[in-house]
């Protein structure tokens, strides 16, 4: 929640409550997959993803894809480089 409050612009669509509701909608078909970035032990970014199988292949997608049109990573504005680290 603290990381979500740091975002600019602020959005409820990256709050824990919203992501939890999204997860409840897709949980039966997917596996939760979180990628986090820390700097000196402090959480600076989170990639809320889900892992699914389609036609025999596993793939990662945003947790809220298909549930909400607003999907992205939670990245501290103090550490924008963390988004690239999550993608790597």
* pLDDT tens digits for range 41-65: 999 999 999 998 889 899 898 888 8
Residue 10 pLDDT > 80, yes or no? no
49-63 burial code (b ≥16 CB/10 A, e <16): bbebeeeeeeeebbb
User: Of the ranges 19-28, 37-46, 62-71, which is most confident?
Assistant: 37-46
pLDDT at 23: 87
Residue 40 pLDDT > 90, yes or no? yes
Beta strands per DSSP E along the chain? 31-39, 42-54, 57-62, 74-75
């Amino acid at each position: 929640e603290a990381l979500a409050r740091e975002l600019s612009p602020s959005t409820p669509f990256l709050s824990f409550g919203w992501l939890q509701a999204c997860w409840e909608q897709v949980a039966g078909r997917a596996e939760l997959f979180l990628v986090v970035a820390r700097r000196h032990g402090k959480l600076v970014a989170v990639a809320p993803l889900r892992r699914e199988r389609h036609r025999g292949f596993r793939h990662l997608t945003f947790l809220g894809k298909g549930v909400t049109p607003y999907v992205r990573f939670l990245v501290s504005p103090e550490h924008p480089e963390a988004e690239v680290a999550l993608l790597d």
